[in-house]
Structure 1
Amino acid sequence: MAVPLTVRNLTSTQVRIIRVERFEDPNSLQSKASGYFFSSKNNTSALPTSPQLGEHAQSFNHQDIDVTLVPFESYTLSHARGGHNENASMLSSTTVRLTIEASGNERHRIDTNPSYTQKSTQSFIPLSPNPSTSYTALFHPSKPTPHLTIHTNHLLSDKRWMSVLPDILPLSALSIPGTHNSHTHYRALPSVQCQVVDVKSQLEHGIRFLDIRVQPVHATDITKKDFHLVHGAFPVSLTWPKHFEPVLQICYDFLETNPGETILISLKREGVGSATDEHIARILEDHYIKPHASKWHTGSTLPYLGGVRGKLVLVRRYNTAPGSKPIGLDATAWPYNATHALFPQHASTFCLQDFCEVLVPEVIPTKVQHCNEHLVRAAECTHHIPGINTDAANPVPPGPLYLNFLSGSNFWKRACWPQNIAKIVNRGMEEWICAGHHLEQPAAKPRYSDETVLNSKGEIEVAGVGRAKTGDGSTGVVVMDCVGENGDWDLVKLIIGMNMGVLMKTQGAS
């Protein structure tokens, strides 16, 4: 029996669904075992051949429809109540073939089976010659309704995604993927390791917020510049100490090669040494920032993208010496274990979710809920963009930078080690962005008056159309553990894709 399927447009232009076809899946028995119908790691076509379609032709039905989905909108098809071949195997399932029409009346097609149980990625097949744009689909077997989200293939490498965004966007308007304890990819205690790929790979795959924790090698001598990389009280490697300077050099090299990008770098003192925040502040300024001043943005207010391209933006989680001029975005008032907090009190530069005390596995769903709620808050913001919705010469200052930490752990309980929590939380956020982010509940009736809701055989039934909420739909900075595990960067790509809201706003005004 066929199951419902929700199709969502996560591109920056409208998409029309013009045809829905259904037929018994000739690969059902084989694919049920593996759980895959299509896969980004499998280049072998899973589309049924002509003989296979002929064998299952009795179960074939189709419906021409005309459903226009603007960006962020979704459309739910419920199961076909007629046309099923009574002689078909009880173990078989139904493939749904969708034909869409996009820019320039170009048509594309995809086959999917909503009954499959694993997420997967597939490219649309172009039906028009020399299409101007290619599309991919990301399938999630979400409950109660599976989702298929439509995405525009990246025209630029993930290394340069910021370069297509306008200079006038404040950083707080962007959707930025980040990593928690970005430097903890080395072989270490399982409770210490938060990442599975190195910083260079993170940047090359789109990460633009780095969270770095350091401890001075020399606790009192400010002429010594070496910092150890740490995670709490622990070193980040079981072999030999790892140092801060190589991480910075990776960032410098990346920005030199990709000058249209910027990297937010959060620096905090941790570890068991006796050094103070003020000691760290002197070392950083004297040995790292001043000698490379052109590579750093150390202003105290949220900047615009155009002013920080090619630079590191300092997010300062350490105190400076009394009487000295503070530098960077001041995050020293960071509240511990916060579910929703604005700080610092005098400026509200940040809006934070960092609920991290996941002490038992039963608390992981609570963590997921806090992350979801912060994504909702971020998406509801309408950002002030100079020359668009605020004066170009004297703009309203940018709103707070939303920071959403998906991380949590309990060092003393294996089920709550970072990688085990990340498997659940990251997947939950991925499904939420696809299925619910910036989306109202589906309407009781579709708003398309010319659409055939249900034909005489009951082949197609419309369950509803989900519309975009008010706001820009941005995610803010989403800070993750274990990104890129087994080559899976889908969540990072989804976050980058949510910049389509502010991008459309600037394009619409031009």
Structure 2
Amino acid sequence: MSGPITIRNLTAQPLTVKLIERYEAPNAANFPPHGGFSISNLTSKATTLLSNVTSTGSPSQPSPGQLSDKAESFAKQDVDLRMEPFTTYKTDVQTTERGPNEILRLTFEGEGGQRWRVDTPSPSPASQKLVPLTPEPQHDYTAIYLADAHFLALFESTNLQCWMKEFKDETPLSALSMPGTHNSPTCHVALPSVRCQAVPPKDQLENGVRFLDIRVQPVKPEDPNDDSLNLVHGVFPISLTGPRKFRGMLEDVESFLQANPSEAIIMSIKREGTGDATDQQLAMIMKDHYANSDRWWTQPRIPTLGEARGKIVLMRRFALDDRLKGENDGHGWGLNAENWRDNTPDDTYGDVRVQDFYQVTDTENIDKKIQLCCDHFERAAAVVCPIPGVTTDSTDPVPAGPLYLNFLSASNFFNVQTWPDRIAAKLNPAVTAFLCEKHEVGDKGIDGPGQEFQGDGGVGIVVCDWVGNNGDWDLVRCIVGMNSRILLKERGSWR
């Protein structure tokens, strides 16, 4: 069904719609009339870019449903719809005029006259990269189209492998919207209720994830010379083909940081599994055998990005041995996330503020979980994080923190419909749609200026299940895209 298209500029640059064109969709019989990202087809979401662009900026061979470079429009209109950063504009442009099998092409212009175009709807519910019409453009943009709402959200594209390089060294980690994964290494053949991830941590890191949630079981805790830590999820091993070791996963993390020194990774470590090991024993294993080099940040405060680049920032979900309580002038060791309230919708403990409601006993509770996630996004959005030399006095900065942790994960062992993959198939696309359309970043809103917004518009650390499934990284792109207001501040363009 046709309706007026709404456009949201979630980038740090003004963009102006300059040209509207309409086309008949090629292969109309195979082209979904609503295309795009639709809540009605959440579980079928697959990521394939609509606009495959060559190094010269010209479209390559069109995929089914994609317009060829020689396609001719049946309607064309010059317009001048300027959108400032973080502006939502409800246009009077109808998504279709003749019928459902129709493509609407929008051409945007940025400062300096550079232009890009995007087609809606897309043949798949995937994000699409705007096609540059100017050689060597200063910016690249990505769009997600929400078909049910006739809503187009625009993000600034970034290289997910090294997205942190865009930010100043003075930026606290707590200022950044950061993709994370829950039970990060659980990508192996395992019990369906145990497996939480589609791809291994190495692939996660290369596609933008910067928070890893690791659960370990000491193998010989009574032997101070033994460094063996098995990767587990609760009482279960993460693989049915034999134990997987923390050491092997850590080598992949360290190799990634060596290749990408602009990046920082927060690693949350918790003791789980069977046996009689204690938190204190795990603490000493970590101190004596792992987190004892300049590759780790173990101070008990949230670092700036400059302090953390190229390092693993230890977030401990274990109690300290008495020998470590005196570290760092008696302030302890590592970021403190030891003991937040179980199954919490919102709790502050140590260096973190957490949403971790995970007991979804049946499918009806998934909507409750989605709402709790969105509520926590809005808490994070309202925070104004101090950035020395940008928003505070560089000689006497306000301490950063806490880190906002938002767990999208939930499950129920006894109900197959609420195992991690089933919940993620519904929750991840719903959260993506919320971030595109409704997350508070202080824009003017569909109906004109609203109340003045003071926050940074971030989302904190978003801890996900099953990202990267079938190549789908759109949720990660959206999370990274929520850093635009921080970028705008740091680039000196804030107004």
TM-score over 0.5 (shorter chain) = yes
Distance 1:277 1:316 in 2: 10
Identity of aligned residues (%): 41
Instruction: Summarize the Cα distance change of 1:253–1:5 in structure 2 as closer, same or farther, 3 Å threshold.
Output: same
- Counterpart of 2:87 (choices 73, 85, 94) is 73
2:56 maps to none
CA distance in 1, matches of 2:445, 2:283: 54
Q: 2:318 is matched with which residue?
A: 318
Separation of aligned partners in 2, 1:28 and 1:265:
48
Question: What residue number does 1:339 align with?
Answer: 345
Kindly provide the CA deviation profile for residues 366-411 of structure 1, in whole angstroms up to 9, marking residues without a partner as x.
Answer: 0000111111111111111111221101111113110000000111
The equivalent of 2:49 in structure 1 is 40
Distance 1:181 1:25 in 2: 43
CA distance in 2, matches of 1:129, 1:148: 24
Residues 43-122 of structure 1 aligned to structure 2 (within 5 Å): 44-45=61-62, 46-48=65-67, 53=72, 57=74, 60=75, 62-78=76-92, 80=94, 84=97, 92-113=100-121, 118-122=124-128
Q: Name 1:30's counterpart in structure 2.
A: 30
Residue 304 of structure 2 corresponds to residue 304 of structure 1:
yes
Please tell me whether the aligned partners of residues 110 and 125 of structure 1 are also in contact (alpha carbons under 8 angstroms).
yes
2:495 counterpart of 1:505? no
Aligned to 1:278: 280
Equivalent residues of 2:25, 2:66 under 8 A apart:
no
Number of aligned residue pairs: 469
1:256 and 2:264 matched: no
Against the structure 1 CA distance between its residues 468 and 310, is the aligned structure 2 distance closer, same or farther, given a 3 Å change threshold?
farther
8 Å Cα contact 2:353-2:405 kept in structure 1: yes
Q: Does 1:492 align with 2:476?
A: yes
Match of 1:139 in 2: 145
Please give the residue correspondences for 1:192-203 in structure 2 after superposition, counting only pairs within 5 Å. Answer: 192-203=194-205
Contact kept in structure 2, 1:72 and 1:467, CA below 8 Å: no
Structure 2 vs 1, CA of residues 50 and 183 (structure 1 numbering), >3 Å: closer, same or farther? closer
Q: Which residue of 2 aligns with 1:457?
A: none
Aligned to 1:123: 129
> Alignment partner of 1:403: what SS?
strand
Q: Structure 1 unaligned runs (5+)?
A: 86-90, 448-465
Rg comparison, structure with higher value: 1
Report the equivalent of 2:328: none
> Are 2:146 and 2:433, in contact at CA under 8 Å, matched by a contact in 1?
yes
Please give the alpha-carbon distance, in whole angstroms, between the structure 2 residues aligned to 1:331 and 1:129.
Answer: 48
| Alpha-carbon offset, residue 330 of structure 1 | 1.1
- Once the two structures are superposed, residues 306-327 of structure 1 have per-residue CA deviations (whole angstroms, 9 ceiling, x without a partner) of 1111111110111112364231
CA displacement at 1:213 relative to structure 2: 0.4
- Once the two structures are overlaid, the 10-residue window that deviates more, 402-411 or 436-445, is 436-445
Per-residue deviation, residues 272-315 of structure 1 (Å, max 9, x unmatched): 1111111111111111122xx21111111111111111111110
Residue 381 to residue 337, structure 1, CA distance change in 2 (3 Å) = same
Q: Is the 8 A contact 2:315 2:336 kept in 1?
A: yes
Whole-Å separation in 1 of the counterparts to 2:288 and 2:69: 70
Matched, 1:479 2:463: yes
Relative distance call for 1:225 and 1:127 in structure 2 (3 A) is: closer
Equivalent residue, structure 1, for 2:380: 378
SS in 2 for 1:496: helix
2:422 pairs, out of 417, 420, 423, with: 420
Partners of 1:261 and 1:203 lie apart in 2 by 10
Tell me how far 1:184 sits from its aligned partner: 0.6
| C-alpha distance in 2 between matches for 1:352 and 1:501 | 23
Q: Pick closer, same or farther for the CA change 1:298–1:127 going to 2, 3 Å.
A: closer
Distance 2:386 2:356 in 1: 26
Q: CA deviation at 1:440?
A: 6.0
Partner deviation per Cα, 1:127-185 (whole Å, 9 max, x = no partner): 345533333322222x4x1222223333xx32211122101111100011111000111
Q: Look up the SS of the partner of 1:194 in the other structure.
A: coil
Find the aligned partners of 1:111 and 1:133 in 2 and give their Cα distance: 18
Matches within 5 A, 1:449-464: none
CA contact (8 A) 2:195 2:238 kept: yes
Alpha carbons 2:442, 2:454 under 8 Å: kept: no
Counterpart residue number, 2:44: none
For the Cα contact (< 8 Å) 1:10–1:151, is it kept in 2?
yes
Shift of 1:265: 0.5
Letter aligned with residue 98 of structure 1: L
**Ranges in structure 2 where 5+ consecutive residues have no aligned partner:** 38-46, 53-60, 326-331
Paired letter, 1:504: L
In the alignment, residue 393 of structure 1 is paired with which amino acid? T
Name the aligned partner's letter for residue 135 of structure 1: Y
Structure 1 Cα separation of the partners of residues 249 and 395 of structure 2: 38
Q: What is the aligned partner in structure 2 of residue 455 from structure 1?
A: none
Structure 1 residue 123: Cα displacement: 3.2
User: Match of 1:376, SS?
Assistant: helix
What is the alpha-carbon distance in structure 1 between the residues aligned to residue 91 and residue 27 of structure 2? Answer: 22
1:21 corresponds to which residue?
Answer: 21
CA distance in 1, matches of 2:14, 2:105: 19
Equivalent AA in structure 1 for residue 154 of structure 2: I
2:389 corresponds, among 382, 387, 397, to 387
RMSD value, Cα: 2.7
Equivalent in the alignment of 1:462: none
- C-alpha distance 285-123 of structure 1, shift in aligned 2 (>3 A): closer
SS class of match (1:255): helix
**What is the letter of the counterpart of residue 132 of structure 2?**
P
* Matches of 1:289 and 1:84, distance apart in 2: 62
Q: Say if 1:202 and 1:10 are closer, same or farther in 2 by CA, change over 3 A.
A: same
Give how far 1:470 is off: 3.1
